[in-house]
A and B are shown apart, each in its own frame.
Chain A
Amino acid sequence: MTLPIFSSSDDPGPSFADLLRRVRPTDALPNGGHDLTITHGTTVLGVRYADGVVMAGDRRATSGNLISHKTMEKVFPADRFSGVAIAGAAGPAIEMVKLFQLQLEHYEKVEGSVLSLEGKANQLSGMVRSNLPAAMQGLAVVPLFGGFDQRRNTGRLFQYDVTGGRYEETDYVSSGSGSLHASTVVKLGFHPDLSREAAIDLVVNALYRAAEEDSATGGPDLVRGIFPIVATITVAGYEQVDDAELRRCVEAIVAGGASA
């Protein structure tokens, strides 16, 4: 592999996606994607709380009526102070996350400074938009983006539509097949000054209720020890909540009346 050197008129700057396009022209997508059974990730949500934001996702991936994965991860760190959660076609979604993580790091290294949270949200918007042709063929990816804005000293949440439309939400966001049920639970339990524990309880409860109503959303599995992925993003950065804490959370919900 030789060093990628470009003339000044053709230089991709700090954009990794542009760099990739220079060295590897995009592969054409196959036609007729509708007929394939594609693995889908389902319910993810994000909630603002006193210290920042909490993001969570269930662990189920489905291919049509099949449950194709019981332990899929849908919440990822984008960099130290932001996270991205994905719902939609799993293949392109995970590729998008990988590219997004790389883009943020690439920018930081080439430019010598970190993008603002707003800048990161816009970058993701461009990536979702460039996936539109694939979305038209049934490979839609609809991510959520959350992070701690160090310049404004607050947690912020963004959601997207398939065209790359970017919408900032002040309280909570959700995406995926179980999002209607999950966001109803969050709506009832939300207030702006939730503590960390209360915020984690709220998102775990929301995913638990969504799993009861939506077949594509996986509930916590106490037998196999499979719990949602939950991460907090605060002034201390991105931190994934460990399974022991989530287990206590789920056990409290079950003990408090699962049928409620």
Chain B
Amino acid sequence: MSMPFYVAPEQVMKDRADYARKGIARGRSAVAVLYLDGILVVAENSSATLHKVSEIYDRIAFAGVGKYNEFDQLRIAGVRHADLKGFQYSREDVDARSLANAYAQMLGQIFTHEMKPMEVEILVAEVGLDPGDDQVFHILYDGSVVDEDRYSVIGGDAEAIGTRLEAAYEPGLDLAGALHAAVSALAGPDRILTGPELEVAVLARGNGRRAFRRLDDRDLSGMLTA
């Protein structure tokens, strides 16, 4: 009888993590920035139809980077989770924390038990009724969750972008200010990103029940050139 080779669990986990990180690093990054009236989410995305940023529920948005089919599957599961919960209980009972936990459970489960981890990194953002109540959860391919309170960066280049954003960010930015900070951090010193290369959406407190709104090229060019 042949025995499988012994591979240390540390090595298995490390290999899977490397594999997932490599997959994620192939795509472009995304950032979420808290501003005065809500949360701004900006992703570098040249496609106008394959979205990285989407609406989950009244006050909750989703952003994903990495393998499109995998984070899109997570997005749809999130919409279903939220709509079912809102239907069975009430709209107010749907919150980002429980959704982030559900995502974390699933990603963690897949990371440890499946052959292939999901090559994704996602953000779940919820705009509160007051500025202090805004929440952003950053969930990694292995199911770890980080709760961020100013901004959050996902994707392969996250560290460099995070450093640039740290320098540009200040509390109480308005939308245009937050957009400038986010776009210049994503672009870095050597590039200029314009409307068609960006996918931008906000969760704004003033938008009524459904806080999510996409900003199109026209909205962006006004704010980016200003």
**Could you tell me which A residues sit within 8 Å of B by CB distance?**
1-5, 16, 19-20, 23, 98-99, 102, 105-106, 109-110, 112
| Residue tally, chain B, CB below 8 Å to A | 23
* Closest-CB distance, A77 to chain B (whole angstroms): 10
* Complex contact B84–A3 (CB within 8 A): no
- Pick the residue among A4, A98, A109, A112 that contacts B84 (CB under 8 A): A4
* Complex contact A109–B77 (CB within 8 A): no
* Complex contact A110–B105 (CB within 8 A): no
* Closest-CB distance, B123 to chain A (whole angstroms): 16
Q: Which of A1, A3, A23, A98 has the most CB of B within 10 A?
A: A3
Q: Which of B54, B83, B105 has the most CB of A within 10 A?
A: B83
The CA of A110 and the CA of B55, in the complex, are separated in Å by: 9
- Pick the residue among A2, A109, A110, A112 that contacts B102 (CB under 8 A): A2
The CA of A224 and the CA of B1, in the complex, are separated in Å by: 88
Residues of B contacting A5 in the complex (Cβ-Cβ under 8 angstroms) = 73, 77, 106
In B17-63, the 8 Å CB interface with A consists of 49, 51, 54-56
* Complex contact B78–A3 (CB within 8 A): yes
B103 in the interface, Cβ–Cβ < 8 Å? Answer: yes
| Nearest A residue to B78, CB-CB | A3
Residues of A contacting B106 in the complex (Cβ-Cβ under 8 angstroms) = 2-3, 5
In B127-146, the 8 Å CB interface with A consists of none
* Complex contact A112–B87 (CB within 8 A): no
The CA of A3 and the CA of B80, in the complex, are separated in Å by: 8
- 14 contacting pairs across A/B (C-beta < 8 A): A1-B102, A2-B102, A3-B74, A3-B80, A3-B102, A3-B103, A16-B83, A23-B84, A99-B87, A102-B83, A102-B86, A109-B54, A109-B83, A110-B79
The CA of A218 and the CA of B8, in the complex, are separated in Å by: 77
B85 in the interface, Cβ–Cβ < 8 Å? Answer: yes
The CA of A99 and the CA of B84, in the complex, are separated in Å by: 11
B164 in the interface, Cβ–Cβ < 8 Å? Answer: no
Q: A1-B84, A2-B102, A16-B83 are in contact. List 15 more A-B contacts (CB 8 A).
A: A1-B98, A3-B74, A3-B102, A3-B105, A4-B80, A4-B84, A20-B87, A98-B87, A102-B83, A102-B86, A102-B87, A109-B55, A110-B76, A110-B79, A110-B80
The CA of A20 and the CA of B84, in the complex, are separated in Å by: 7
Looking at chain B's contact residues, the main secondary structure is helix
B81 in the interface, Cβ–Cβ < 8 Å? Answer: yes
**Could you tell me which B residues sit within 8 Å of A by CB distance?**
49, 51, 54-56, 73-74, 76-81, 83-87, 98, 102-103, 105-106
| Nearest A residue to B80, CB-CB | A4
* Closest-CB distance, B126 to chain A (whole angstroms): 15
The CA of A105 and the CA of B209, in the complex, are separated in Å by: 12
The CA of A4 and the CA of B88, in the complex, are separated in Å by: 14
Residues of B contacting A98 in the complex (Cβ-Cβ under 8 angstroms) = 87
The CA of A102 and the CA of B94, in the complex, are separated in Å by: 14
- Pick the residue among A19, A99, A112 that contacts B80 (CB under 8 A): A19
* Complex contact A3–B79 (CB within 8 A): no
Residues of B contacting A99 in the complex (Cβ-Cβ under 8 angstroms) = 87
Residues of A contacting B78 in the complex (Cβ-Cβ under 8 angstroms) = 3
* Complex contact A112–B76 (CB within 8 A): no
The verdict on A1 contacting B81 (CB below 8 Å), with A109-B54, A109-B55, A110-B76 known, is yes
The CA of A188 and the CA of B70, in the complex, are separated in Å by: 59
Residues of A contacting B51 in the complex (Cβ-Cβ under 8 angstroms) = 112
* Closest-CB distance, A38 to chain B (whole angstroms): 23
